[in-house]
Chain A
Amino acid sequence: MKKETKEPLFHIVKRKSMPLKKQWLVRGIAIAAAILVCAIVTVITTKMNPLSVFSAVFTGAFGSTRKVWVTLQDTSILLLISLALTPAFKMKFWNIGGEGQVLMGGLGAAACMIVLGDKIPDPLVVLLMIISSITLGAVWGVIPAIFKAKWNTNETLSTLMMNYIAIQIVAFFTIYWEVPKGSGKIGIINQNTNAGWLFEIGNKYLLTIMIAVLVTVSMFIYLKYTKHGYEIAVVGESEKTARYVGIRPGLVIIRTMLISGALCGLAGLLLVGSVHHTITTTITGGQGFTAVMVSWLAKFNPISMIFASLLIIFLSHGASEISTSCGLNQSFGDIITGIILFFIIGCEFFIEYQIIFSGKKKGGNEA
């Protein structure tokens, strides 16, 4: 008697590699599909007509000269944080403590502005701000790294806890330095003298943008062409291999997190010294988490990160425009960002794997 075996309808195999053009095509389709879904969600919740939704998104992000600059500036900050986290991720060190590292950097800058502003010459204040914010960011990044290197402590959770410790430290100093007493916030620091405000190039947005561009290029070179970058990649792929070729993973982890934290500190410096001129516990606005996703979406490539962060900022500004004009809650942007992210995360599957249907007789053989 012939025994009948049941063949599965399809099976999944890993692709060798997909041509770059096709990869971007898949991602493009995913983004387009995501935007379509977002549009449907927006139309349902706001009852606007679809065309005015799209025009509202564009007005939100690029509606006026000022809005273009703000969009570029916010993109730069997000890009900077994403770049900061990237070397750590490449090493498979899940630094989700960007939020705390940025805050501590901001606190360092704010402390110099408040304590030293107007007491010593302004260039000296700025110099001390740069030093203190970068140092504080680096310290905040290196503490979990030491735990990881020495005792293999789970870095996802330790960096997360460092975030909340940083938030409480900032909350402490916010009340300590509050102006006026009892208000619970610091307000614009040195509003009359502008002491410690970072200098402007052309307008107040350009400095941040230029620093972001500079860091992007340096990070690209650092990861791709230096010995450090190579060591990070090896440790990320396999710690055993790293040890075998004479790389000390612990050392690489600590060194990389120093850099990662220092760059986060730099982002904090810009946020306080150039963008907001004040410090609050929510000054980073969750960008430490968003940056994790930006970095991953860009496959740790600094150049692609520019587009990824621009996309996220563009959509969140657009969504905030829609929610303002319809009198809805600002969190609408988070929903939109979430939907886009789900689609892009999901589409990676089609880049890495292929589905083979067993119905086709010829498709069954695996190459």
Chain B
Amino acid sequence: MIDLVAFIPRAVGQSIPLLFGCTGEIVTEKSGNLNLGIPGVMYVGGICGVIGAFAYEQATKDTGMVGILAIGIPLLCSLIGSLLMGLLYCFLTVTLRANQNVTGLAMTTFGVGFGNFFGGSLIKLSGSDVPTIALSRTSAYFSRSLPFAGNLGWFGKIFLSYGFLAYLAIAVAVYAGFMLKKTRMGLHLRAVGENPATADAAGINVTVYKYMATCIGCMIAGLGGLYYVMDYASGIWSNDAFGDRGWLAIALVIFCIWKPGLGILASILFGGLYIIYLYIPAGMDHMELKELYKMIPYVVTLVVLVVTSMRNKKDNRPPASLGIPYFRENR
């Protein structure tokens, strides 16, 4: 049988990038922007953190690293990188009112290319003499868990064995749920997403809300990329390793019907589905079956998508103006 104490921490580790992406996309979509550029943003968030960490590690080769800088520099770089992507998306879709699907796809092409390019060429560009990007020293800071987690047996392993970004992901998701549901800001944001014309008439600055929500959403999503490289992959960047997690994060938004709180559970479930193929016995002579098991998360998403649309409850609908650019004179 599956060893749960070993399985759950791995599933949670897989789920954190999805959770960051999902929370970021929910905040974005609540403002009426369907950002299909999230996969690209997550790559940019990841690689910017890598660039920052790489520069800092190279600078402190002989001297020791200071903990606060080792975490702070990559974190800041990652946030700035994804913020710039968010601003670009907003400028094109909100200010210039471009088609959101096309802009998002272009951002994904650009972002994934950006990540892979710098991932593959960083060493040559910076002229340093290391064989691969292995930021194990920075990674050690990111994946450091509570010191007494090891002494608590299965409890410590399942709940306390993660780096700080994992807890941040859950905290951000909980706060996003609270913000959307209980605060005035959240109410305004939802109003902008449901009916921007009405919100505008009520005196809410639609443009500012769309910009803010999308940029903050992108920054949250970018942290998912950072977590993946620094914690899950132990600081080793390999091209295309992040894979399709960005798209899964977008699908998760529908799965958890635009509720960040539900997103926490949903992403852990997906994290489990993502690696479950490793735990299904297939036998050595039938490696091809593993490829079929890898299909499970996508099939589940598709089924959920269809089932939620069949039930079509009022609460489960996307924001009414999702994907439609707002132009005041266009009534």
Contact = CB atoms under 8 A, between A and B. Distances in A.
B63 interface: no
A45 B291 CA distance: 39
B185 interface: no
A330 B251 CA distance: 29
Contacts of A161: 251, 298-299, 301-302, 305
A162 B305 CA distance: 12
Contact of A289 (B105, B292, B295, B330): B105
Contacts of A157: 250-251, 254, 301, 305
A9 to B, nearest CB: 14
Nearest to A47: B125
A280 to B, nearest CB: 13
Contact of B99 (A169, A296, A333): A296
A37 interface: no
Contact of B302 (A158, A173, A176, A327): A158
Interface string A141-154: 00000010001111
B96 A346 contact: yes
A158 B291 CA distance: 20
A348 interface: yes
A171 interface: yes
Chain B interface category by residue count: 35 or more
A94 interface: yes
B52 interface: no
A335 B113 contact: yes
Nearest to A337: B109
Interface residues of A, number: 54
A151 B313 CA distance: 12
Interface string B105-127: 11111111111111111001100
A290 B112 CA distance: 13
Contact of B108 (A176, A289, A330): A289
A45 B124 CA distance: 10
A164 B294 CA distance: 9
A240 interface: no
Nearest to B294: A168
B295 A154 contact: no
A341 B110 contact: yes
Given A161-B302, A345-B98, A338 B107 contact: yes
Nearest to B310: A151
B101 A165 contact: no
A38 B329 CA distance: 35
A52 interface: no
A14 B330 contact: yes
Contact of A335 (B114, B244, B327): B114
A161 B116 CA distance: 23
A355 to B, nearest CB: 11
B287 interface: yes
Contacts of A14: 327, 329-330
A164 B244 contact: yes
A292 interface: yes
A327 B124 contact: yes
A187 B81 CA distance: 40
A128 interface: no
B271 to A, nearest CB: 16
A296 B102 contact: yes
A206 interface: no
Contacts of A96: 36, 101, 105
A116 interface: no
Contacts of B305: 147, 153-154, 157-158, 161
B55 interface: no
A342 interface: yes
Contacts of B250: 157, 160
Interface string B240-276: 0000100100110010000000000000000000000
B117 A164 contact: no
Given A157-B254, A161-B251, A168-B294, A335 B110 contact: yes
Contacts of B3: none
A178 to B, nearest CB: 8
Contacts of A140: none
A151 B101 contact: no
B158 interface: no
Most chain A CB inside 10 Å of its own CB: which residue of B34, B107, B119, B298: B298
Contacts of A165: 295, 298-299, 302
B312 interface: yes
A79 B310 CA distance: 35
A339 B207 CA distance: 24
Contacts of B295: 164-165, 168-169
B80 to A, nearest CB: 18
B309 interface: yes
A358 interface: no
12 contacts: A12-B327, A45-B125, A147-B309, A151-B312, A160-B250, A162-B302, A168-B291, A171-B294, A328-B120, A338-B107, A341-B102, A342-B92
Given A45-B121, A171-B294, A349-B98, 8 more contacts: A147-B309, A151-B306, A151-B309, A160-B250, A289-B109, A338-B106, A341-B106, A346-B96
Interface of B: 34, 36, 88, 91-92, 96-99, 101-103, 105-121, 124-125, 239, 244, 247, 250-251, 254, 287-289, 291-292, 294-295, 298-299, 301-302, 305-306, 309-310, 312, 318, 327, 329-330
**The 5 A-B residue pairs with the shortest CB-CB distance in the complex, in nearest-first order:** A334-B113, A338-B110, A329-B120, A331-B116, A349-B96
